Amino acid sequence: MTGGGYARQPDGSVVVALSLAGPGGAQAGRIRVLVRAGNRARALTRLRNLGLRAVYLRGNAEPPTPDEVTAVLHHPDGLVWREAVAADPGFWQPATMLPRPRAAAPAGG
């Protein structure tokens, strides 16, 4: 993970933003994931429950921008993502549309 951060909301909840490697590894680019929860630990637990096991938030180097906070606050699930491309990042997608890594074929014959 290269960056992430959080922003505390007036109601006491937090919005956590993480920049992660895409599902295809380094060649697939990066994605930006936003999650809203009661606290930082619960936000990371929500991501781990989706299969993103190795997500950690160390520091507050890249907190969510006001536009990112607005996007996640207005989404019913409170968890969105999009590709982290500077030129045209595209629209925010719900967590159900998060691409999953392909499972490796079992070895043997």
Q: What is the pLDDT of residues 28-54, one digit of tens each?
A: 678 888 999 999 999 999 988 888 777
Enter the DSSP assignment of 92. -
In a domain, 104, yes or no: no
Residue 87, pLDDT score: 61
In a domain, 108, yes or no: no
In a domain, 36, yes or no: yes
What is the C-alpha to C-alpha distance for residues 68 and 20, in angstroms, rounded to an integer?
16
**Residue 15: strand pairing partners:** 7, 36
In a domain, 103, yes or no: no
pLDDT lower than 70: segments of the chain = 1-2, 22-28, 85-89, 97-109
In a domain, 109, yes or no: no
Give the range of the structural domain holding residue 80, as residue numbers without chain letter. Answer: 3-95
**pTM listed for this prediction:** 0.78
Residue 10, pLDDT score: 94
Please give the tally of structural domains in the chain. Answer: 1
